[in-house]
Amino acid sequence: MHPPGHIHALRTTVTETHVITTTDLTKVYRTSGREVTALDGVDLHVREGEVYGVIGQSGAGKSSLIRCVNLLERPTAGTVTVAGQDLTALAGRGPRAGRELRRARGRIGMVFQHFNLLSTRTVQDNVELPLEILGTSGQERSRKALELLDLVGLTDKAKAYPAQLSGGQKQRVGIARALAGDPKVLLSDEATSALDPETTRSILQLLRDLNRQLGLTVLLITHEMDVVKSICDSAALMEKGRIVESGTVSELLATPGSELASALFPVGGEASGADRTVVDVTFQGEAATQPVISQLSRTYNIDISILGAAIDTVGGLQVGRMRIELPGRYEDNVVPIGFLREQGLHIDVLNEEPLLVKEGAK
């Protein structure tokens, strides 16, 4: 396992296009004579066309991060680049830079937790509002709004008012409004936390569908692991204003000691004695349906105890995780563990490190 405070970020070697990049992003709030650091040197890299989830507990800095990405909050230090444009370079640099910043923000859609709809305007009028601000003609606004309402499945609610809608319908209106400016990036600020589980699933599926149909890059923040599990290609864990772990979901699941992987796919169970080896085995794709554990037992004639197991779909990929106990200490099980690794499985030996320390002390 990683020591406390360890910053673990998975890096890919392939050159990729990053639509959102933050570099050493810092946000300090000053209030009542004291300073609160919400963001402490955040480096974030979101690839083009992916759904990227930032997860963390309340106070971790998630909301400050997403509001700094579109400069609703001005960072104290660091840079924010979206679609190749440094937004922080435009902040507070005069009228011309201000106009450029507004145009840049127009390419970033934002979906809010509490919908933020205007109660005195119809659904269609709410969707038209960003276009109205941009000076789009009435006929074009109407055409675009109806097109977007069709996209989110609410054509029949165009003349309704927000009070006549369910929570899920209100959020669909919010998503349609966020898409009015044809953004390349969609930001989601806890968009499903006020919804029931069934409605949450439908909204998440809508976001995934829009990601695929429109080629949208989606950055969402959440405190719910199921959101990351359902639709995210990549994820980052935030704690105390810092990203402590990040990577694609498949990379995280394959990383021994990953906090995110353990939280996404928890399995329980402890060793029944000091002379036992506990191993977490992660199966992905076709390997999730193969009888590898029974093969291991027959090949090496060993009794294997299954302490915990689960199978689910994570990031659109079928994943299984199993915690098993092997008789004997780690040094007695090097060959069987090697057999599991040869099958292409991801192996995390939970009680390996203490044994190695003990061996080194002899």
What mean pLDDT is predicted for residues 143-155? Answer: 94
Q: Do 271 and 243 lie in a common domain?
A: no
Q: Do 230 and 281 lie in a common domain?
A: no
Q: Do 16 and 99 lie in a common domain?
A: yes
Count the helices and strands in the chain (H runs, E runs): 12, 15
pLDDT at 11 over 70: no
Q: Single out the residue in 214, 231, 253 at which a domain terminates.
A: 253
What pLDDT does residue 104 have?
77
Q: Single out the residue in 203, 219, 253 at which a domain terminates.
A: 253
Q: Do 102 and 187 lie in a common domain?
A: yes
pLDDT in tens, 282-332: 887 666 667 888 899 999 999 999 998 877 777 667 788 889 999 998 899
How far does the chain reach from its first CA to its final CA, in angstroms? 23
What pLDDT does residue 33 have?
81
What pLDDT does residue 289 have?
66
In a domain, 24, yes or no: yes
Shortest CA distance to 144 belongs to which of 122, 128, 123, 162? 128
Lowest mean pLDDT among 108-122, 169-183, 275-289: 275-289
Q: Do 339 and 195 lie in a common domain?
A: no
- CA 48, 103, 25: angle at the middle one, nearest 5? 55
What mean pLDDT is predicted for residues 350-355? Answer: 60
Helices (H), the chain: 62-69, 95-106, 123-133, 138-151, 167-178, 197-214, 225-231, 249-253, 259-264, 292-300, 334-342, 352-361
Percent of the chain whose predicted confidence (pLDDT) is above 90:
49
In a domain, 176, yes or no: no
Shortest CA distance to 159 belongs to which of 127, 203, 182? 127
Q: Do 98 and 194 lie in a common domain?
A: yes
* Residue 286 belongs to domain with CATH number: 3.30.70.260
- Residue 298, both tokens: 């027959």
Position 98 confidence tier, pLDDT thresholds 50, 70, 90 = low
Q: pTM for the full model?
A: 0.82
Average pLDDT in the chain: 85
pLDDT at 64 over 90: yes
Q: Do 99 and 195 lie in a common domain?
A: yes
In a domain, 115, yes or no: no
Q: Do 231 and 281 lie in a common domain?
A: no
| Under 8 Å between Cβ of 124 and 145 | yes
What pLDDT does residue 12 have?
40
Q: Do 207 and 336 lie in a common domain?
A: no
DSSP run (H or E) holding 47: strand 34-47
Range of the domain at 17: 8-107+183-253
Lowest mean pLDDT among 69-83, 131-145, 338-352: 338-352
What mean pLDDT is predicted for residues 131-151? Answer: 91
Q: Do 249 and 102 lie in a common domain?
A: yes
Q: Domain count of the chain?
A: 2
pLDDT at 252 over 70: yes
pLDDT at 173 over 80: yes
* Residue 51 belongs to domain with CATH number: 3.40.50.300
